[in-house]
């Protein structure tokens, strides 16, 4: 019996590519360049499985037309708002993701962004590397203290809780959060956190606001002009969730007008395109979507995809099915 044909849309950790190549008739993207819409559409008609990443956009239009050969999309990542789930389901395509394994590394990166934005580390490094540092002085690159401040978390899932734990127990921060569903107060207390009913309730008292909610239509531009206006003066925004959760034009306006003091961003609305006005701001820390970028986590994510695809073609239920 011939092996299922699968496409890996980007380069993955070598250990994962080896496993996939041993089990399937695997095509690897050796150039590691993003596939365009036409290439992805073609892939859906010639491969039994396509293994996409967040950089692969799979809107409803790609699923239209003739019968699709692909039976499973093994997504490399927790978020799947780049895939039109309804269109995939209508065509009978199973979709899986990789929950759980990237929690700690993403929470670590959110903490890095918070500290970097508060203490102006990016500005300092750029100054030093440019040979512009003239030496220590009392008023040089004065930032804001983190310990003892209030952090507000939007979305209290795995990553939100891990981030709360770091903030409260690592830096003595007060933690408040908003979540779509009610969290048992005893569970929240494990992370030193208190749930508030409205997002605005969180925004108005938080020195730092960190986003840990899903992307997609339901949360598109959750942080908009009105909500930036509701933030505490001098506060910072941290985003390691999804770029579409933030209205970038409204964020830029809030920063330029001094409504908020700064931001730390790992995700963007139109990745990899970042607005020039945002890139020009010294009070914004910008990272190229590195939330899960550790050797351990990226390998674990790939192995999760492999497990899901192997189970599917063995006639078993994929453990991380989302559609």
What was the pLDDT predicted at 313?
Answer: 98
What was the pLDDT predicted at 240?
Answer: 98
> Using one digit for the tens of pLDDT, what is the confidence trace for 23-54?
999 999 999 999 999 999 999 999 999 999 99
Task: Specify whether 178 is catalytic.
Answer: no
Q: 5-101+295-313 — its CATH code? A: 3.40.50.720
Which of 242, 248, 261, 269 is flagged as catalytic? 242
> Using one digit for the tens of pLDDT, what is the confidence trace for 179-199?
999 999 999 999 999 999 999
Task: Specify whether 242 is catalytic.
Answer: yes
What is the Cα–Cα distance from 233 to 180, expressed in whole angstroms? 25
Which of 41, 221, 289, 321 is flagged as catalytic? 289
Indicate the pLDDT class of residue 66, thresholds 50, 70 and 90. Answer: confident
Q: Which of 206, 212, 177, 205 is nearest to 191 (CA)?
A: 177
From residue 310, alpha-carbon distances to 40, 85, 92, 297, 305 in Å are 22, 21, 18, 20, 9
SS3 call for 174: strand
CATH 3.40.50.720 intervals, the chain: 5-101+295-313, 103-286
Which of 64, 256, 271, 296 is flagged as catalytic? 271
Architecture of domain 103-286: 3-Layer(aba) Sandwich (3.40)
> Using one digit for the tens of pLDDT, what is the confidence trace for 98-113?
999 999 999 999 999 9
Task: Specify whether 271 is catalytic.
Answer: yes
Global model pTM greater than 0.85: yes
């Amino acid at each position: 019996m011939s092996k299922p044909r699968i496409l890996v849309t980007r380069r993955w950790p070598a250990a994962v590519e080896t496993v996939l190549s041993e089990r399937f008739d695997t095509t690897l993207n050796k150039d590691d360049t993003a596939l365009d819409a036409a290439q992805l559409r073609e892939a859906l008609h010639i491969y039994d499985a396509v293994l996409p990443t967040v950089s692969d956009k799979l809107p409803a239009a790609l699923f239209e037309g003739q019968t699709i050969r692909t039976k499973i999309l093994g997504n490399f990542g927790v978020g799947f708002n780049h895939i039109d789930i309804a269109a995939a389901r209508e065509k009978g395509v199973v979709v899986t993701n990789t929950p759980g394994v990237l929690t700690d590394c993403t929470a670590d990166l959110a903490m890095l962004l918070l500290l970097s934005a508060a203490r102006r580390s990016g500005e300092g490094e750029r100054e030093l590397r440019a040979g512009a540092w003239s030496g220590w002085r009392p008023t040089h690159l004065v930032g804001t203290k983190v310990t003892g401040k209030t952090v507000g978390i939007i979305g209290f899932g795995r990553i939100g809780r891990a981030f709360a734990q770091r903030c409260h127990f690592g830096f003595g921060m007060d933690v408040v959060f908003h979540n779509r569903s009610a969290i048992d107060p005893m569970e929240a207390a494990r992370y030193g956190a208190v749930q508030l009913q409205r997002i605005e309730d969180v925004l108005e008292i938080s020195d730092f606001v960190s986003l840990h909610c899903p992307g997609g239509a339901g949360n598109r531009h959750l942080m908009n002009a009105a909500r930036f206006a509701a933030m505490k003066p001098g506060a910072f925004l941290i985003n390691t969730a999804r770029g579409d959760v933030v209205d970038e034009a409204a964020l830029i306006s809030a920063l330029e007008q001094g409504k908020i003091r700064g931001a730390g961003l790992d995700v963007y609305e139109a990745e990899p395109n970042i607005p020039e006005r945002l890139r020009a701001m010294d009070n914004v820390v910008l990272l190229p979507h590195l939330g899960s970028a550790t050797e351990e986590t990226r390998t674990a994510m790939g192995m999760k995809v492999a497990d899901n695809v192997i189970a599917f073609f063995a006639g078993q239920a994929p453990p991380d099915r989302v559609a």
